[in-house]
Amino acid sequence: MAQDIVLKENKKSMVFLKPITTIFKGKLSKEKWLLSAKKTGITLASVLLFLILWHFGSQALYNKEANYKINKTLKEQGAAAAEAERACIYSGENNCQPNTLPSPLQVWQSLQLLIADHYVIKADKKAFEEKMFATNEALAAKGKKKITYTGRPSFIDIVLTSIKTVFAGFLLALLIAVPIGIVIGLSPFLKSAFNWFIQIFKPVSPVVWYLLVFMIVKTLYIGNSSDNSFVISFISVGLCAMWATLVNTAMGVASVDKDYINVAKVLKLGTFQKIFKIILPSSLPLIFTGLRITLSVAWMVLIAIELLAQSPGLGLFVWEEFQNGANDSNSKIIVAMFVIGIIGFLLDRIMLSVQQMVSFNKNEAI
């Protein structure tokens, strides 16, 4: 009986597949196609408006800084020097360009350069591995460590490192928060006992979590010469982002319909059977809501934590470009900003899709 109840609810939760099946069956009405086309058109128009405003905004800032540099040179060095400064600026030479907000075209060019640079580094790495193949085989036969490529990572390698770190942190948050949330949700006494702990540590800054994890990991790995930045980063991300999952899991478990619990008692289900057959299926929508928030928070705090941990991810990339101050550094920072935003959006959509599979509320989310 308990299993029938859960299966019935799960069938309800698969309603989200209905629009997809209607598309394949050709039953999507003309009005819906027009509405979809209208939404797409509005989105494209808003993107175009954004790019236009960005272009003219960056041009205005460029002119403002250029005029300031020319006027400053005029006051300090005279008309001839000011005219030379003006000629240098508008000639496009890198050494005298205003360091301000880049235009959309400059950002696009930087993206192309970063992608091209990736293939150059990839070829260098492959050539190094081929060159060192025989040497590494000999070292491996002697039980020694292989010689690895230590050149700078490409932008795509940096992005992949950040994704790997955030998923490791997310998995850690899931493994900690869901079991603790289930235990707290099952017992009002434990909920009261641990409430102070949750309320105190939930709002702690990612910087503080990083420092705490650094203290512990540094001691645990003392005397070890290996790089611990990845370990420190993903643990810090997981501890900082797990609280939404913990709270939502506890709320979901505590709010399970009492009729389901009574059914479990009638069937004389054991504790683990009751958890996995009754409580978890009923509380999955709230748990996945917490996981969705946790993943978003993990991605946001990752940038700051990578910067502090000197982990070779997007956070460190942005900081190094800011410190570099090269003519294309600002463009690369904007590229990283868009990549961070797009990946964050995609991660959120993935979790939303999973959440809709197990949710009984199909209200459209943004």
Q: At 107, give phi and psi (nearest 5°).
A: -65, -40
For the segment 87-145, what is each residue's pLDDT rounded down to a tens digit? Answer: 887 776 767 778 888 889 989 999 999 999 999 988 888 888 888 878 878 877 877 77
pLDDT at 2 over 80: no
CA distance 274 to 270: 6
CA distance 355 to 251: 16
Mean pLDDT of the chain: 81
For the segment 266-288, what is each residue's pLDDT rounded down to a tens digit? Answer: 777 777 777 777 878 888 888 88
What pLDDT, on a 0 to 100 scale, did the predictor assign at position 295?
92
CB atoms within 10 A of CB 329: 18
**CA neighbor of 284 nearest in space, from 8, 9, 5, 19:** 9
Q: What b/e readout covers 227-247, taking b as 16+ CB neighbours within 10 angstroms?
A: ebbbbbbbbbbbbbbbbbbbb
* CATH number for the domain whose boundaries are 152-358: 1.10.3720.10
Q: What is the dihedral of CA 111, 39, 289, 242, to 10 degrees?
A: 20
CA distance 122 to 151: 10
Q: At 64, give phi and psi (nearest 5°).
A: -65, -45
What pLDDT, on a 0 to 100 scale, did the predictor assign at position 358?
67
For the segment 301-355, what is each residue's pLDDT rounded down to a tens digit? Answer: 998 898 888 888 898 899 888 888 777 888 999 999 999 999 999 998 888 888 7
Q: Residue ranges of the domains in the chain?
A: 2-96, 152-358
**Which residue type does 119 have?**
Y
